[in-house]
Amino acid sequence: MKDISDFRSDTVTKPTPKMRQAMASAVVGDDVLGDDPTVQALEAKAAEMLGLEAALFVPSGTMGNEIAVNVWTNPGDEIILESRSHIYLYEAGGPARISGVQVCPIETTDGAMPIEAVRASIRDSSDPHCPTTSLICVENTHNMHGGRVLPIDYLRSLRELSLKQQIPIHLDGARLFNAVHASGISAREYAALADSVMFCLSKGLGAPIGSMLVGSAEFIERARRVRKVLGGGMRQVGVIAAPAIIALEEMVDRLHIDNENAKRLALGIAGLPGVVLDPDTVDTNIVLVRLVPPAPSAEELFRQLADRGVLSIPLGPDLIRFVTHKDVDETDVERLTSAFRQVLTG
């Protein structure tokens, strides 16, 4: 058995041997000067997979999201997002700091902001008291709602509203391909309902670094400039684009395994004393567990699981997260399930 079963995040995935070989032999140029062929191939592939015109390779999902916010807004604007979204909670205040916009967070139980609530939150731009609402952000899958997939009909309704109000939609699709497997809806169908999409290569897809920002050619041209402002213009970056291409070619199809392992885990621990978890709400590769007495605190559970070789992330006094990915398999899930049982049932 391995020393550690690491369920902290799908960001802990290590590059495959083939990715490492690709890094060593990558043909490179200077991507800021626009002549790195490996980056160009990656960007063309990402755009094609999402059925949009163009794509930009960025160092992180956070930078991809923040570039999108910057491109779509002007300082003083307001953006609508979900109250537990990554852009709101975990990007260090980027929308305010980088783009000078304020946020209008909408609280939900599952990540899908009710259409009526979004409509009601759009400001009257003819009123000089009001900021201009210039962007709606959605997150699919939704990390802090336990990897929930946003229903396609919901996204269609939101799109209708966005077109009517002429407010663009940015999709934080860090784990978009996990949603694709869970729902059977293609990445192209999801992308067609947004104006810009960010997805991560460095999570379940196993590439060491990087995310893609995808959209119209005009959007990407503006995004390229903002990336430069943020210091994200990189030179011989074909070295990390090469494993990213392998991620797109070889790792997308296996993500259903991660979704299945998360479901297996949820079924294994739901019903244990102090565990609040409905396995039906585990759509993809994230299992969020709420703890109530007699379960210990999240911090204590984290420690006791770690003593048994299993890593997780406590996300609050009574909330703990487990994420499945290519570097944990059924045996790791079994180990976690039995460690959980030992801790909770003594």
Ligand X SMILES: Cc1ncc(COP(=O)(O)O)c(C=O)c1O
Q: Which residues of this chain interact with ligand X, rule CB under 6 A? A: 60-62, 65, 86, 139, 143, 172, 174, 200, 202, 211
Q: Which is nearer to ligand X, 87 or 310 (CB)?
A: 87
| End-to-end CA gap in the chain | 23
User: 269, 312 in Cβ contact below 8 A?
Assistant: no
Q: Which is nearer to ligand X, 200 or 247 (CB)?
A: 200
User: 136, 168 in Cβ contact below 8 A?
Assistant: yes
Q: Which is nearer to ligand X, 2 or 14 (CB)?
A: 14
Smallest separation (angstroms) from ligand X to the CB of 56: 14
Q: Which is nearer to ligand X, 29 or 208 (CB)?
A: 208
Smallest separation (angstroms) from ligand X to the CB of 168: 18
Closest CA relative to residue 185, chosen from 217, 228, 145, 153: 153
Q: Which is nearer to ligand X, 98 or 275 (CB)?
A: 98
Q: Which is nearer to ligand X, 205 or 291 (CB)?
A: 205
| Distance, CA of 102 to CA of 84 (rounded, Å) | 16
Which residue lies nearest ligand X, judged by its C-beta?
61
| Distance, CA of 28 to CA of 118 (rounded, Å) | 45
Smallest separation (angstroms) from ligand X to the CB of 210: 8
Identify the sign of the CA torsion 333, 334, 338, 339: negative
**CB neighbours of 27 closer than 8 A, spacing ≥ 6?**
37, 38, 238
**CB neighbours of 30 closer than 8 A, spacing ≥ 6?**
36, 235, 236
Smallest separation (angstroms) from ligand X to the CB of 111: 10
Smallest separation (angstroms) from ligand X to the CB of 325: 12
User: 88, 106 in Cβ contact below 8 A?
Assistant: no
Smallest separation (angstroms) from ligand X to the CB of 257: 19
